[in-house]
């Protein structure tokens, strides 16, 4: 089975998104006009990224609000000290700086997406994002 088949089904079944589709090499799930979840996955390496994008953010060139991935972010010592490195969850603080914490994710799409969906559901229904 192609990796995105299960991802698309899980996203559609969640009822969170108004549209879910493949765009190039990623799956994009639209929450609303300006916010969407992008999922990238490389089945040959297991490298992954789940990112909530918000086009209304003021940061030039980077509209990521939060997400999980395994990118090592060279030069960020705090990330390299995490027990789960390079796997991590990241979000922006009030000043727009990236903060990182450990995650149990390891690139297993079918196991990770339910946690992503639970987090997103809490995020979109709460005034407090929980970090």
Question: What stretches of the chain adopt beta strand conformation (E)?
Answer: 19-23, 26-30, 35-42, 47-54, 64-69, 88-92, 98-101
Give dist(CA 110, CA 108) in Å, integer: 6
Q: Please check the confidence at residue 101 and state whether its pLDDT lies above 90.
A: yes
Q: Quote the tokens at residue 5.
A: 């088949």
Q: Please check the confidence at residue 130 and state whether its pLDDT lies above 80.
A: no
For residue 131, the model assigns a pLDDT of 47
Return the higher-pLDDT residue of 121 and 94.
Answer: 121
Q: Quote the tokens at residue 79.
A: 């990330």
């Amino acid at each position: 089975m192609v990796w995105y088949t299960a991802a698309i089904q899980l996203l559609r079944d969640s009822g969170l998104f108004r549209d879910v589709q493949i765009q190039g090499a990623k799956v994009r799930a639209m929450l609303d006009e300006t916010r969407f979840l992008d999922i990238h996955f490389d089945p040959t390496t297991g490298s992954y990224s789940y990112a909530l994008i918000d086009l209304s953010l003021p940061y030039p060139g980077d509209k990521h609000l939060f997400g999980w991935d395994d990118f090592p972010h060279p030069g960020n010592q705090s990330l390299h000290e995490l027990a789960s490195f390079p796997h991590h969850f990241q979000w922006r603080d009030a000043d727009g700086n990236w903060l990182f914490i450990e995650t149990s994710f390891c690139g297993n799409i079918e196991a990770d997406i339910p946690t992503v969906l639970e987090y997103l559901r809490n995020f979109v229904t709460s005034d407090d994002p929980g970090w």
